Chains A and B, each alone.
Chain A
Amino acid sequence: MRLQSKIILITTPVVVIFMLAIGGISFSMLQEATVERALGNTRSFLTSTAGKIQVLYDTAAKDIELFANSNLLQNYLLTADEEVRYPLLQPTIIRLFSSYQKANPNYYEIRILLPDGYEDTRVVHTDQPNITEEEGETEIFQAMHRAENDLFTRIWRNPDNGRISLLISRRMLLRDPNLNPVSSPKTLRGYLAVTIDLGFIEKKITEAADEYGTTFLLLDRGGTIFFHSEQQPVLSPLPGKLLQQALDHLKDTSPFAVADNKQSFLMLSRTVNDSLLLLARIPRNNLYAASNRLRLAVALTTLCAIVIFSALLFFLARKFIVKPVILLRNAATDLGHGNLDISLNQSADDEIGDLARSFMEMRNNLQKSHEQIRRLAYHDFLTGLPNRVMFLDFFRRVVENAQRHHRLCALMFIDLDNFKRINDTLGHNLGDDLLRQVARRLQETIRKSDFISISAQDQDPDMIARLGGDEFTVLLTNIREQNDAAIVARRQLLALAEPFKLDSHEVFITISIGITVFPFDATSEEELIKNADVAMYHAKEKGKNNFQYYSNSMNTEALERLTLEGELRRAVERNEFIVHYQPQVDARTREIVGLEALVRWRHPERGMIQPKYFIPVAEQSGLIVPIGSWVMKTAVKQIRDWQQQGVPVVPVSINLSSPQFQSKAIYNIITSILNSTEVPSKYLKVELTESILLKAEEEAINMLHDIKKTGVEICLDDFGTGYSSLNYLKRFPIDVLKIDRSFVMNITTAPKDAEICSAIIALAKCLNLSVVAEGVEGRDQYEFLRDKGCDSIQGFYFYKPLPAAAIEKLLTAGKKPRSGDMEMD
Chain B
Amino acid sequence: MNMTVLRKILLVLSLLAVLPGNHTGAGRASAAEGNDKQLQLLNWSEYFDPEVLAEFQKRYGITVTETYYETDEMRNEILFGTNGTGYDLILANGSSIASYVRHGWLAPVSASNIPNLQHVSPRWRTSFPEAEQYGVPFLWGTLGIAYRTDKTSRPVTSWMDLFRPEEAVQGKIIMIKYSRDLVGMALKALGYSVNSTGSRELDEAKQLLLAQKPFVKTYSYLTLGENSSMVSGDAFMAMIYNGDALVLQQHDPAIAFVQPREGCLLWCDFFVIPASSVKKELAHKFLNFIHEPAIMAKLARFASYATTNTAAEKLLPRAFLDDQNIYPARAILEKSETYADLPPRVAKKYNDIFNLVIQ
Contacts and interface: CB of A to CB of B under 8 A. Distances in A.
Interface of A: 72, 75-76, 79, 81-92, 94-95, 98, 120-123, 125, 127
B197 interface: no
B45 interface: no
B294 interface: no
Interface in B229-253: none
B102 A91 contact: no
A366 B292 CA distance: 157
Contacts of B356: 127
27 contacts: A72-B81, A81-B103, A83-B99, A83-B102, A83-B344, A86-B342, A86-B348, A86-B351, A87-B99, A87-B342, A87-B347, A87-B350, A88-B76, A88-B99, A89-B76, A89-B80, A89-B103, A90-B347, A91-B354, A94-B354, A94-B355, A95-B355, A120-B348, A121-B348, A122-B352, A125-B359, A127-B356
Nearest to A127: B356
A130 B83 CA distance: 31
Contacts of B204: none
A84 B102 contact: yes
A86 B345 contact: yes
B210 interface: yes
B262 interface: no
B76 A92 contact: yes
B77 interface: yes
Contact of B355 (A83, A85, A123): A123
A88 B100 contact: yes
B103 A94 contact: no
A91 B73 contact: yes
A631 to B, nearest CB: 143
Contacts of A75: 80, 83
Interface of B is mostly: helix
Which of A82, A83, A91, A121 counts the most B-chain CB atoms under 10 A from its CB? A91
B334 interface: no
Nearest to A95: B77
B73 A88 contact: no
Contacts of A91: 73, 76-77, 179, 351, 354-355
Given A87-B341, A98-B359, 20 more contacts: A72-B81, A75-B80, A75-B83, A81-B102, A83-B99, A83-B341, A84-B99, A87-B342, A87-B350, A88-B99, A88-B103, A89-B103, A94-B354, A94-B355, A95-B355, A120-B348, A121-B348, A122-B352, A125-B359, A127-B210
Contacts of B350: 87
Nearest to B349: A86
B345 A82 contact: yes
Interface in B326-347: 341-342, 344-345, 347
A82 B344 contact: yes
A90 B344 CA distance: 10
B96 interface: yes
A176 to B, nearest CB: 14
Nearest to B72: A91
| A-B pairs, 9 with minimum CB distance | A82-B344, A86-B347, A87-B347, A86-B348, A86-B344, A88-B99, A84-B103, A92-B77, A94-B355
A98 B210 CA distance: 18
A133 to B, nearest CB: 8
Interface in B154-198: 179
Contacts of A79: 103
A95 B354 CA distance: 10
B80 A88 contact: yes
B95 to A, nearest CB: 9
A82 B347 CA distance: 9
A127 to B, nearest CB: 6
Given A79-B103, A123-B355, A88 B96 contact: yes
A76 B83 CA distance: 10
Nearest to B101: A84
A123 B351 CA distance: 10
Nearest to A97: B355
B75 to A, nearest CB: 10
Nearest to A98: B359
A310 B282 CA distance: 115
A123 B358 CA distance: 12
Which of B80, B179, B345 counts the most A-chain CB atoms under 10 A from its CB? B80
B280 to A, nearest CB: 22
A94 B351 CA distance: 8
B80 A92 contact: yes
A83 B351 CA distance: 13
A619 B102 CA distance: 171
Contacts of B351: 86, 90-91, 94
A189 B210 CA distance: 33
Nearest to B79: A88
A98 B354 CA distance: 12
Contacts of B359: 98, 125
Contacts of B80: 72, 75-76, 88-89, 92
Contacts of B345: 82, 86
A586 to B, nearest CB: 134
B348 to A, nearest CB: 4
Nearest to A120: B348
A76 B352 CA distance: 16
B186 to A, nearest CB: 15
Contacts of A88: 76, 80, 96, 99-100, 103
Interface in B71-116: 73, 76-77, 80-81, 83, 96, 98-100, 102-103
Contacts of A94: 351-352, 354-355
Contacts of A121: 348
A198 B352 CA distance: 25
Nearest to B100: A88
Contacts of A72: 80-81
A390 B318 CA distance: 171
Nearest to A94: B355
Nearest to B178: A91
Given A72-B81, A92-B76, A95-B77, A87 B352 contact: no
A82 B346 CA distance: 10
A303 B350 CA distance: 83
A180 B189 CA distance: 51
Nearest to B104: A84
Which of A79, A83, A87, A127 counts the most B-chain CB atoms under 10 A from its CB? A87
Which of B102, B345, B351, B352 counts the most A-chain CB atoms under 10 A from its CB? B351
A676 B101 CA distance: 175
A76 B354 CA distance: 19
Nearest to A96: B77
A756 B96 CA distance: 152
A85 B80 CA distance: 10
A361 B187 CA distance: 129
Nearest to B355: A94
A679 B306 CA distance: 169
Contacts of B344: 82-83, 85-87
Contacts of B103: 79, 81, 84, 88-89
A91 B341 CA distance: 16
A85 B347 CA distance: 9
A92 B100 CA distance: 15
A567 to B, nearest CB: 154
Interface in B44-81: 73, 76-77, 80-81
A82 B102 CA distance: 10
A88 B100 CA distance: 8
A287 B136 CA distance: 84
A92 B76 CA distance: 8
Contacts of A125: 359
Interface in B195-210: 210
Contacts of B352: 94, 122
Nearest to B179: A91
Nearest to B354: A91
Contacts of B99: 83-84, 87-88
Contacts of A98: 355, 359
Contacts of A95: 77, 355
Contacts of B348: 86, 90, 120-121
